[in-house]
Chains A and B, each alone.
Chain A
Amino acid sequence: MSRPVVDVRDLHTHLVTRWGTVKAVDGVSFSVGEGETLGLVGESGSGKSMTCLSLLRLVPRPAARILGGQVWLDGEDLLAKSEAEMRKIRGRRIAMILQDPMSSLNPVFSIGMQMREAVALYHGLRGRGLAARAAELLAAVRIPSPAERLRAFPHQLSGGMRQRVVGAMAIAAPPRLLIADEPTTSLDLTIQAQYLGLLEELQERHRLALVFVTHNLGIVARICDRVAVMYAGRIVEMGPVRRLFTRPAHPYSRALLESIPRLGARAARLTAIEGQPPDLARLPAGCAFAPRCPSVMDRCRVETPPETVVEAGHVTRCWLEAPGAGAPAGGRPA
């Protein structure tokens, strides 16, 4: 793989709350290449969204702070940029699609005005060329009769349509990196499938690096090349989708995979993950997953597991896989 589009190294973002400091992003590293899709999965509060916002340097201030690490975008460290430089990067080189299409568009302006604003901002077009480009973008996201839709207001479009408009605005530049934060969660299933197809198509055409945040493993399997599993602010396992889905190394990934129903599998009860996600303000020493882990060892409660390479391109943070750690007496559960 050539130089990645985005390369995140040891990112730390902390949230100062009334209940203490929360390490929302705690040493996250990953990279995404041109035309590649990285899935970011994990339960609510695991730091997925905060990681994405950190890339754009848009963490909610003043509570959140990016405390360390580097975010390299095409060889430039974004964390070292000024706010004015960042504003030029947002939208132009990194775009993001949010979860809720119902509120993603400004209700008082027509689709056309909002589209033209985005296009004018990135391309400096005016007049007829501007309107034509806006219609072109709407056509690119498969919106029927785009010229007419430009006159519509957001409330006149369905959720799926609105999310397409948001997608069209996101690729207006077009950016190098597109972050999609659960963009299909609030769409119904058939529309979800269409939208995913559309995203893949846009990615293909513009060779976008795509970070897809979701907690839907089915979507990951469908569109991602690699997947990173987050737990309590850390990436606990990252690897190619096929490899991670068939041979997960981290007990948390394994538990996640076991908790989704499979077609054709014998009807057994789905396995739920015991216990609750940890209180991020009061994380235990050692591995954050230790209290819920079925194969927990004494060491897990004391020391944080280091990142271990299971196989080329497949890393995990678990003592089970750490070199020289050896399997516990009971052996690894199959």
Chain B
Amino acid sequence: MPAEPGALSLPGLDVPAAAPRRGWRPPRFPLAVIGLFVAAAMAAPLLGLPDPHAQALRDRFKPPGWQEAGSWKHPLGTDRLGRDLLSRIVWGARVSLAAGVLTVLVASAFGAAVGLTAGYYGGRVDATLMRITDATMSFPVILLALILAVTVGPSFANVVTAIAVILWARYARVIRAQVLTLMQLDFVAQARIAGAGAWRIITRHLLPNTLGTLLVLVTLQIGYVIILEASLSFLGAGIPPPTPAWGSMIAEGRDFVTSAWWVSLFPGLAILLVVLAFNLLGDWLRDTFDPKLRQL
């Protein structure tokens, strides 16, 4: 590097004149995809789409608009009952996104509370809570959802419950681990010296310092939950028909994949796009907030 006149030059010390600045550059693709789906889901009734439940048996298995036999009345074609696929995907986005966000919020709130409690109190409280967490993590989500579907019947609420009841454990573990490190730092001791009680330390000192991690985890898990919900719906243990949900739409098209591929393909693509977007966003958040979370 040619030394500028007057620049500091010491052997072994090579300071670039201007350090490259790391700007705040959120990734465009994930935000655009998520924004598009969220906007479409929220504005679904205003888009002038056909009723997602309206059956038209004469129009069944219409291929997408750009195909010879297709018509632009149904841009992505129709399913077995002649329902418009585009409309069902848009309405299905409501279900999938709501399930993803709601489940993750419930799970993260509960998991974070458990993690904070375990990490703060330590000792027996910690041991007990962590054993429960371990037990929860070893329980398969799909099995629980199937049990719920069989006993209580499949419903949106049951899907959210089944996933959240298992998913919180991951948050509990990650947050507890972080709280344990935070507890070693002097500002927690200093807060105690200043007369803060458990509630104050947990809410004012520990929780705010774990928010970055929580945000990363939440974003990464929304994608995971959308896939889980789709799997459950695919298996018939999720959102019951006729409510449009991406997983059950794929399942409905399964028998006709060779003749009417679009029925399964488009909801599948929707899942792929949304999950990919959430994962990319989560990756970016993780790199920005907390590079230590790489293994997640």
Q: Interface of A with B (CB < 8 Å)?
A: 56, 58, 62, 87-92, 95-96, 98-100, 103-109, 117-118, 121, 166, 169
**Measured between C-beta atoms, what is the minimum distance from A108 to chain B in Å?**
5
Q: Beyond A107-B209, A108-B208, A109-B208, is A121–B189 a contact (Cβ under 8 Å)? A: no
Q: Beyond A103-B186, A106-B187, is A91–B194 a contact (Cβ under 8 Å)? A: yes
Q: Contacts of B194 on A, CB cut-off 8 Å? A: 90-91, 95, 118, 121, 169
> CB distance B193 to A91 under 8 Å?
yes
Q: Interface of B with A (CB < 8 Å)?
A: 123, 185-187, 189-197, 204-205, 208-209, 211
CB < 8 Å neighbour of A90 from B185, B187, B195, B205: B195
> CB distance A88 to B195 under 8 Å?
yes
Q: Contacts of B193 on A, CB cut-off 8 Å? A: 56, 58, 90-91, 95-96, 98
Q: Beyond A58-B192, A62-B123, is A99–B186 a contact (Cβ under 8 Å)? A: yes
Query: Main secondary structure on chain B at its contact with chain A?
Result: helix
Q: Contacts of A90 on B, CB cut-off 8 Å? A: 192-195
Q: Contacts of A92 on B, CB cut-off 8 Å? A: 195
Alpha-carbon distance between A281 and B87 when the two chains are bound, in angstroms: 74
Closest 8 CB pairs of A and B: A91-B194, A90-B195, A91-B195, A103-B185, A103-B186, A104-B186, A96-B193, A108-B208
Q: Beyond A98-B186, A99-B186, A100-B186, is A106–B192 a contact (Cβ under 8 Å)? A: no
Q: Beyond A106-B205, A106-B208, A109-B208, is A87–B187 a contact (Cβ under 8 Å)? A: no
> CB distance B189 to A98 under 8 Å?
yes
> CB distance B195 to A89 under 8 Å?
yes
Given A88-B195, A106-B208, A108-B208, list of 5 further CB < 8 A pairs? A92-B195, A100-B186, A105-B190, A106-B205, A169-B190
Alpha-carbon distance between A96 and B194 when the two chains are bound, in angstroms: 8
> CB distance A87 to B197 under 8 Å?
yes
> CB distance B190 to A166 under 8 Å?
yes
Q: Contacts of A117 on B, CB cut-off 8 Å? A: 204
Q: Contacts of A169 on B, CB cut-off 8 Å? A: 190, 194
Provide a sorted-by-A list of 5 A–B residue pairs whose CB atoms are within 8 angstroms. Answer: A87-B196, A88-B195, A90-B194, A103-B185, A106-B191
Q: Contacts of B190 on A, CB cut-off 8 Å? A: 96, 98, 104-105, 166, 169
